[in-house]
Amino acid sequence: MRKLMITAIASLTLGGTALSASAMETMQPVQEGQFHRIEQPIRNKAIVTLGGLGLIGLELWWFLLSKPKSRKAMSVSEARSQKLQ
């Protein structure tokens, strides 16, 4: 069983290397200036912007405003007297 696992791992590793090498051979180098700008619809830009601002607002609320208000520190005797009441 162990020998089978080692063989499987070795074949996957070597096979992956061979595949990536052949894929690199078929790729053509990218030259400067080949990329062109793809204009996005204004609706998509607005949705992404509003979503991002909403997430930022949610984080600010979570870390700054959602914490419970802390109470004034009490001495041990004050705490005991409140428990008795």
Q: What is the pLDDT along the chain (85 residues), one digit of tens a residue?
A: 767 667 767 666 666 555 555 666 666 665 677 888 889 999 999 999 999 999 999 999 999 988 776 667 777 777 777 766 6
Going from the C-alpha of 66 to that of each of 53, 57, 70, the distances in angstroms are 18, 12, 12
pLDDT score recorded for residue 41: 95
pLDDT score recorded for residue 13: 63
First to last CA, the chain: 71
